[in-house]
Amino acid sequence: MRPRNGSVEPTTTAVTITRVNRRRGLFLSLPGLLAALLIAAGSAQAASAPTGLALNTAVGRSAPLESALVRPDPLRTGIAPRVATHAYDRIVVATGVAAEVAAPRFIVNGAGDVLDTSRVTIPEGKFGYLLKNPSKSGVFSDSMGFDRSSLDSSLRRHLVENFGDATPSEPMVGGGTKFSVTGSLTGPSGANWNITSVWGVDPNGLIRLITATP
C-alpha cells in the first residue's frame, strides 16, 4: 500500500506496519487495517468498556468486539479482508453515530492504498490562491461560486470520492510524496467542472492540498 497516511504508527494494538518498497511505502496488514478501522469507528472505548457491542463476522456469527481486537490471531475471527469496510459500516450503524460524523477515517482504494482522512489538511492560504488568484478565480469563484467554507468541504469530499482512482505517488523535492485525484465537482452555482486536486503527503504524515485545477 502506498503511503497516504502518516498517522498509522506501530502501537500495541493490532496495527502492524511493514515497509515493502519506496513506491508502495507502508503496508498496513489486514489484521492491522481491520483493527485500525474499528478504532476509527470510535470503537476504542468499546473495546475496553462493557458496551456489549458485537462485531458481525463473515460467517454469520457474532463475537464480542473486545475479543476481536485483542485475540492473538484476529484473522481467526473469520473476517475476510474484503469485509473490513463492510464490518466497519455495521459498527457505525450499531453505535448510532450520525452519518455526517461517521465518514470512514480510512479509505482503501483498489490498488491497496490507504487514505487516512484524519490527516487531510487544506492550508489557509490555498483558499485565497484558488478563490482570488486570476488564473484560478475564474473557475472556482466566478464559475463555480465557491466561498472558503464550501470549497473546503467540497475539496475534502472530492478527495474521498475520487481516491479510488488516485494517481501513483511521486516523490517531491525535499521529501514526501504527492498524488492527485480527478473527478467531477459541482459548485454552489451549479456549474460542473472536471477537477484535479493535487495532494502532498509530507514526511510528518499530513496529507496537504497543494492545488486544484480544471
Partner 1 sequence: MTAPETSETTFVVNDHVIAVALDAHNAPRSLGVSISLDGLHLRSFEEPGWRLPGYGVAGREFYWWSARRLVVVPVDAPRELREFALDEDILCVFARGDSWLLVCETSIRLRDGATEVSRLEFPEVVTSARVEGDLIVVEDAGGVLRHIAVSSERLTVVDSPEH
How many Cβ atoms from other residues are within 10 Å of residue 120's Cβ?
18
172 binding partner 1? (CB under 8 A): yes
Binding to partner 1 (CB under 8 A): which residues in 15-44? none
Q: Pick the closest to residue 207 from 168, 173, 156 (CA basis).
A: 156
Smallest gap from Cβ 18 to partner 1, in A, equals 26
The C-alpha cell at 107 is 479509505
143 binding partner 1? (CB under 8 A): yes
101 binding partner 1? (CB under 8 A): no
152 binding partner 1? (CB under 8 A): no
183 binding partner 1? (CB under 8 A): no
The three-class DSSP label of residue 115 is strand
Nearer to partner 1, 81 or 138 (CB): 138
CA distance 167 to 66: 37
The three-class DSSP label of residue 209 is strand
One-letter amino acid for residue 75 of the chain:
L
Partner residues linked to 28 by β-bridges: 17
Binding to partner 1 (CB under 8 A): which residues in 123-142? 125, 129, 134-136, 138-139, 142
Q: Which residues bind partner 1 (CB under 8 A)?
A: 125, 129, 134-136, 138-139, 142-143, 170-176, 178, 198, 200, 202, 210-211, 213-214
